A and B are shown apart, each in its own frame.
Chain A
Amino acid sequence: MKNLWYIAKKDLLQILKDRSSLFFLLLVPLILIVVVGFAFGNLFGSGSSQVTITVAVSNQDSGFLGKSVVQALQVNASSLKITINQYTDPNKVKDQVANNSSVNAGVVIPAGASDKFIAAAQTGTAPKDLVQVYSLPSTSDPRATIVQNIVTGVLSSQFAGTSAVGQVNNVCNQPGNHCAQSSIDAQTIAATVGGASATGGATAVQALTAGKAVSINSFDQIVPGYAIFFALFGVQAAAGTILQEKEDGTFRRLLIAPVNKYALLGGKLLAQFILTLGQLTFFFLVGYFAFHLDIGSVPAVIALLIGASFAATGLGIVLVSIVKTRRQLNAIVPLVVIISSAIGGAWWPLFLEPAWMQQIAKIGITAWAMEGLNGVMILGKDFGQVAPDILGLLAYGIICFVIATRLFRFQQATPA
């Protein structure tokens, strides 16, 4: 057992002395994490679940309709904030939507819209094209849809209120009915019915929450994703030392020494495991202190990192058993790591992928690790809920070790 540790210690010392390896294993990933984390901050939402919308508005109408629409768009709640930029020229609204990327939608309320609206309501016909809502062509931006829904809601409630006034007048004008003229306050009736129409449905539905809100700090995804990605690349450096020792003759020198061959291999694997776990721990500590990672269940994250390091070590020894030279290893590792990272959720949350892709991704380490880490850090799962992922990683490593014991060759063909 002592020899196993001596070999691991020597391997770690070698890697620590190789500044280019350290640069690639620690500094390059850190730079990428920072750059990508900030670059995609808006995509994932920077830790806030509030939706912010900017609307360009031109209200030409002097009546109630224009005021109602503008008033309805003035929202500043915890989940939604709408900023209104008002313009007198309707063409400015179109121009802002078309050319200003920070403006999500535009609303134009033409002059006389209220009068046309009342006239249509009194005849019982739905008003057409009274208010224009602008968005970019073929846009899938949900913020434009939110604006359109608000405007539609205002028009619907106002239409209900105005129709109610007309209906009251119709009833009063029926033969035999008499309503004192001063008793019919059209504006109060319209406002009461419209308001009831607008809020009645909403109050009838109770909004409740369950579980933890899915709010993604971009670093909650980027740090674990890139940490796993580069830890797998670290396999190239660590596993490469076995091939390098074979090429340099030091592996044979150690086999000639009084060292059990499995202690020799175990020492090298221990070094790889420590290196991978150290690398992952470093990224998570930097992420926690510098980027306020939401770690969630600490024991679960530690178990996932240990599992990922174990599986990566297993993958390393399988690759070393298959290939014969470092050149071959350097060709195959990027292929394996990039594919498994792409489909395994290293670069975006795994749960955003289609179910079939998530299943295919399970052939790689990344998917097991990221499913667990996303679960703990984004979805708020506890240790028990990510236990299948932890066990999956450990099983992955064990399967790799079993395969490697069949394929690994200690002796090389020697010259006669």
Chain B
Amino acid sequence: MQDPVLNFSKTGPIHLPKDGRPVDVQVANLVKTFGKNEAVKGVSFTIGKGEIFGLLGPNGAGKSTTINMMCGYLEPTSGDAIIDGISVTKEPMQVKRIIGVVPQEIALYKDLNSMENLEFFGEIYGLPAKERKERSEELLQFVGLYEHRNEPIKTFSGGMQRRINMVIALIHRPNFLLMDEPTVGVDPQSRENIFNTIEQLRDQGTTILYTTHYMEEAERLCSHIAIMDEGRIIALGTLEELLAMRDQTREVQRPHGLQELFIQLTGRTLRD
């Protein structure tokens, strides 16, 4: 068995990890170009079944574009993503049925209540009426908002809205969940609730791609982590493998180790 190839060069090749995990998601040489701007420059990685995979990177690194290609929102310029054996470029509708996406922004209908939001997305994903209602109630209880089910979303706090934003992506019991910075701007209690939910999903066998700017979140949740910058993956491995590669001359220990490595790899220059 060959270890994952970790390459710190921003132009060097990244090889798919071969660590014996049952692979659920394969991303192979994804490229996305907007005019003359190459936003993603050949990204490749795999995610094992039931694994939480962290995708980290500064602003403008290409994380969101990568996620947008993986979920079928953007068509890749080249490359492909295979999710549960289905190609996103060849069968995007099939892929959309088995994935869930928690967007970075709170994408909810704020005049509607949480049940109406959940039931609407249940309709969109083709759930029968009875199952739709039961699943909506189950999810609201899952995130502790069942008592607020008839209140308009616009009356919810930021943390409550984030929790609804997350469970809407679970309405159709997806195999693969893409979570794009799901804890931005939430209080510690809501964040803990979201973490618990994610861990329960992982324990139930859901594969998760998780992007965040908070290194401690990645350290807590992710078994494998990729660090992106300027459209490429510049580091990839387990948390221990990545920590082992940081500058050992400096005495920085967890939980600050990943943060130190991140700055070491991506530099201290401010990003837009």
Contacts and interface: CB of A to CB of B under 8 A. Distances in A.
A411 B74 contact: yes
Contacts of B124: 3, 6-7, 254, 257-259
Contacts of A175: none
Interface stretch (A10-18, A84-92, A193-201, A360-368): A10-18
A411 to B, nearest CB: 7
A258 B110 CA distance: 22
Nearest to B107: A249
Interface in B118-150: 120-121, 123-126
Interface residues of B, number: 39
Contacts of B125: 257-258
A168 B208 CA distance: 121
A257 B61 contact: no
B103 A414 contact: no
Q: Which of B74, B101, B107 has the most CB of A within 10 A?
A: B107
Interface in A1-49: 2-3, 6-7, 10, 13-14, 17-18
A137 interface: no
A17 B231 contact: no
Contacts of B105: 248-249
Contact of A416 (B62, B93, B123, B168): B62
B93 A258 contact: yes
B111 A256 contact: no
Specify the main secondary structure of chain A where it touches its partner: helix
Contacts of B231: 416
A250 B93 CA distance: 18
A414 B109 contact: no
Given A253-B103, A257-B121, A10 B109 contact: yes
B101 A416 contact: no
A27 to B, nearest CB: 18
A6 B123 CA distance: 7
Given A14-B112, A253-B107, A416 B60 contact: yes
A354 interface: no
A248 B165 CA distance: 12
A416 B96 contact: no
Nearest to A6: B123
Contacts of B65: 414-416
Nearest to B122: A6
A416 B73 contact: no
Interface in B23-69: 34, 39-40, 59-65, 68
Given A250-B107, A252-B103, A258-B96, A416 B61 contact: yes
Contacts of B68: 414
Q: Which of A249, A257, A411, A413 has the most CB of B within 10 A?
A: A257
A270 to B, nearest CB: 15
B107 A13 contact: no
B93 A252 contact: no
Contacts of B158: none
B16 interface: no
A252 B107 contact: yes
Contacts of B106: 248-249
Interface string A340-370: 0000000000000000000000000000000
B116 interface: yes
B74 A258 contact: no
A126 interface: no
B112 A255 contact: no
Nearest to B108: A250
Interface in A47-82: none
B157 to A, nearest CB: 17
A18 B109 CA distance: 12
A205 to B, nearest CB: 68
Nearest to A10: B120
A414 B96 contact: no
Contacts of A257: 96, 121, 124-125
Interface in B218-270: 231
B72 interface: yes
Contacts of A18: 111
Contacts of B101: 253, 256
A262 B63 CA distance: 27
Contacts of A255: 73
B74 A414 contact: yes
Interface string A373-416: 00000000000000000000000000000000000000101111
B112 A248 contact: no
B252 to A, nearest CB: 29
A13 B112 contact: yes
B71 interface: yes
B214 to A, nearest CB: 18
Q: Which of A17, A252, A256, A413 has the most CB of B within 10 A?
A: A256
Contacts of A258: 93, 96-97, 124-126
Contacts of A10: 109, 112, 116, 120
Given A250-B108, A253-B107, 4 more contacts: A7-B124, A256-B73, A258-B125, A411-B74
8 contacts: A2-B123, A10-B116, A250-B108, A258-B125, A411-B73, A415-B60, A415-B65, A416-B63
Rank and list the top 6 A-B pairs by shortest CB-CB distance, nearest first.
A249-B107, A249-B105, A258-B96, A6-B123, A253-B107, A416-B39
Interface of B: 34, 39-40, 59-65, 68, 71-74, 93, 96-97, 101, 103-112, 116, 120-121, 123-126, 152, 168, 231
